[in-house]
Amino acid sequence: MDKKKWGGFAVIIAFLLSKAKFLLAFLKLSKFGGTLISFGISLFFYAQLFGVWFAVGLLYLLFIHEMGHLVAAKRLGIKTGPAIFIPFMGAVIGIKDEIKTPKAEAIVGYGGPLAGLLSLAPLAVGYAVTGDSFWIVILHLGALINLFNLMPVSPLDGGRILAGLPIVVWIAGLAALVAYGITHFSFILLLVAFFGGSAVWNRYKLAKTYAAHANDLMLYRAARSRVLQAKHEQELADQEAAAAETPEETYGTFDPVAWSLRQDLQQLKAASPSDAQSAGYDVLRFQNDAADDYDAIIRRIDQRIEPLLEAEKSVLYHAMPRKQQAVTLTAYLALGAALFAIFEWTKNGLPDVPM
């Protein structure tokens, strides 16, 4: 270990440790406490392997990248948590709100690599002024990190940016990632591919479920609405009967509300497509089993609706309009081209590393 290089670093650490109580109190009160602590831990580990200045350069790249995501999310009114650095895995920010549209997810995903591209400008200036190969190394690393994040695989930024495009884009990105991860054997790449494969499979499965049961969902919704109407009619009838001075004398068990509901449900089944006939029979059976308990009928319909709603939500979420798809893809390719050009340019200027 270079004693001169680490001497000043050790003095700083000793000073900070002497003020530990003050620092801990500050971090506890500061909303950036987690960021600062995780930054320090990552700096320590990276510095042990690569040296202090390389570690600082790497964390600079990661920090600006995550700030790009954070700024994009804030502009959309999406609540986020602080940036957290994870040694040898990168950095993340927590998204506290649900991202409701693929356009919003694309903007948040795009913010990181775009900020990463902008973060390379000061490095280029440093290289132009000093000619030191250190700057070209960090430049190359920055282009590589942001290019990797642009791969169209969820949960990487590229997968988020292109979430509104057809699933074949995710499949192609996953295939490329798996092939590269196997041929160059990278545990991290294969781990990302595992999560990406899970996302692809889940999206595919939900799309198939929705395609097979879209008409069932339509029938269940219409039936539920009609049962709610019958429940309201029955409540009004009960109120009128209770308010009447002389209750009407009834004979038999004829219930006009239940009879009307039965007729409407039968007509709904008859008017539905052939692939929804089974759902229609289910609804009729629900009424027969529950008798006049309309809440019980609604609960049983909701049990059938709930898994289909998840499938519908996934399909509708990923269905970005064609114009937005074109704009998103164009911006994605432009950003990727700029980062790739920097990656190729800096590759030729990298210093030779003795084997």
Q: What is the mean pLDDT of residues 77-93?
A: 81
Query: Which pLDDT does position 239 carry in this prediction?
Result: 85
Mean pLDDT calculated for residue range 195-205? 92
Distance CA 326, CA 330 (A): 6
> Domain ranges in the chain?
30-164+321-355, 166-237+255-319
Given this model, what pLDDT does residue 131 score?
Answer: 86
pTM: 0.76
Distance CA 105, CA 157 (A): 9
- Check pLDDT > 70 for residue 6: no
Query: What are the pLDDT digits (tens) for 222-238?
Result: 999 999 999 998 888 88
User: For residue 88, which phi and psi values (nearest 5 degrees)?
Assistant: 70, 5
Q: Is the per-residue pLDDT at 41 higher than 50?
A: yes
Helix axis angle for 102-130 and 133-149, nearest 10°, is: 170
- Beta bridge partner(s), residue 91: 85
Which tops the pLDDT comparison, 35 or 169? 169
Average pLDDT over residues 190-214: 91
Scan for tokens 């109120």, then name that residue: 239
pLDDT of residue 339: 95
Q: Convert the pLDDT of each residue in 243-286 to its tens digit.
A: 775 555 554 565 788 889 889 999 999 998 998 899 999 999 99
Structural contact between residues 107 and 70, judged by C-beta atoms closer than 8 angstroms: no
Alpha helices in the chain (DSSP H): 3-18, 20-29, 33-50, 52-75, 102-130, 133-149, 157-161, 167-183, 187-243, 256-271, 277-290, 294-317, 322-347
116, exposed or middle or buried, with CB in 10 Å at 0-12, 13-18, 19+?
buried
* Residue of 102 and 17 predicted with greater confidence: 102
Structure tokens at 25: 């109190």
Reported as a single tens digit per residue, the pLDDT across 112-166 is 999 999 999 999 999 999 988 899 999 999 999 999 999 999 889 999 999 999 9
pLDDT of residue 15 exceeding 70: no
Q: What would the pLDDT profile of 291-331 be if each residue is shown by its tens digit?
A: 778 999 999 999 999 999 999 999 988 888 999 999 999 99
Cα(88)–Cα(129) distance, rounded to whole angstroms? 31
What is the band of 24 on the pLDDT scale with cuts at 50, 70, 90? very low
The reported pLDDT for the residue numbered 176 is 87
pLDDT bin (cut points 50, 70, 90) of residue 352 is: low
Give the C-alpha distances (Å, rounded to integers) separating 271 from 5, 82, 133: 81, 54, 74
pLDDT (0 to 100) of residue 123? 94
